[in-house]
Amino acid sequence: MNKDLVRIIENPVIFQNLCTMRDKNTDSQGVRLATRKITRVLLYEAAKNLPLIEKEIETPIKTTTFKTIKEDINIIISPILRAGLIFTDEAIDILPQACIRHIGMYRDEKTLKPVWYYNKVPMEAPNPENFYIYITDPMLATGNSLIEAIRLYADKKIPMANIKCICIMAAPEGIENIQREFPEVEIITAAVDEGINEKGYIVPGMGDAGDRIFNT
Ligand code: URA
């Protein structure tokens, strides 16, 4: 594993909320609240790669230039359905200029390979260097869905440094799979767990994130 491109965001508040998410006795509302609190921190971390400009601002006291996010760029949040959706409310609060391009994949239970059912990505990217992509999925298990999602953007020639995967729990096997295919894509996560079991679940993980978040 190339640790330089795995950013683990550790903080006491994240630890506390990870415990809440993982606990099998936490109900769906509790899981959603804890998850959202973590997504907010991870999104702020991920956004550190956005380009800045100096902008003139008139305060009630004085006109001065201040740093802000460059305006003519395209920020895309791509949640992998279903569980990746938990990032979207926080993401559009924090980055209101972003667009949300959903990616629908489910995992074939036998092969553990992703099966497509929805793709909102087929957009033009005439100036690919102006695109900043955040692919969200709380559980990086085998990494197969994230690889497919990264490929959609890589095919549009978007620079690898502008594509980030934002997860909450990651398995070392999944990280290695992604790094084998896309060695320059950074993974941002709150935890790296022990591994995956024969059913493709992260151990110890939190079980099925979609079921736990959406109460199914
Ligand atoms: N998806 C989940 O929801 N949980 C896992 O442990 C792995 C993939």
Q: What spacing in Å lies between the alpha carbon of 184 and ligand 1's midpoint?
A: 24
Over residues 185-210, mean pLDDT: 97
pLDDT surpassing 90 at residue 177: yes
Tokens of 214: 């959406």
Place of tokens 């305006």: 71
Over residues 201-214, mean pLDDT: 97
Pairing relationship of beta strands 131-136 and 74-81 according to DSSP bridges: parallel
* Mutate-to-test residue for ligand 1 from 21, 201, 211, 216, highest number of ligand atoms within 8 A of CB: 201
Q: What spacing in Å lies between the alpha carbon of 83 and ligand 1's midpoint?
A: 9
> Measured between alpha carbons, how far is 158 from 203 in angstroms, rounded to an integer?
33
> Which 8-state DSSP code applies to residue 18?
H
Summarised one tens digit per residue, pLDDT across range 79-135 is 999 999 999 999 999 999 999 999 998 878 788 788 888 888 778 888 999 999 999
Mean pLDDT estimate for the chain: 95
Q: What spacing in Å lies between the alpha carbon of 209 and ligand 1's midpoint?
A: 6
**pTM, rounded to two decimals:** 0.94
Whether 71 contacts 89, CB under 8 Å: no
pLDDT band for position 65 (50/70/90)? very high
pLDDT surpassing 90 at residue 11: yes
Summarised one tens digit per residue, pLDDT across range 147-162 is 999 999 999 999 999 9
Summarised one tens digit per residue, pLDDT across range 48-58 is 999 999 999 99
Over residues 57-78, mean pLDDT: 97
Please tell me the predicted confidence (pLDDT) of residue 76: 97
> Measured between alpha carbons, how far is 73 from 185 in angstroms, rounded to an integer?
19
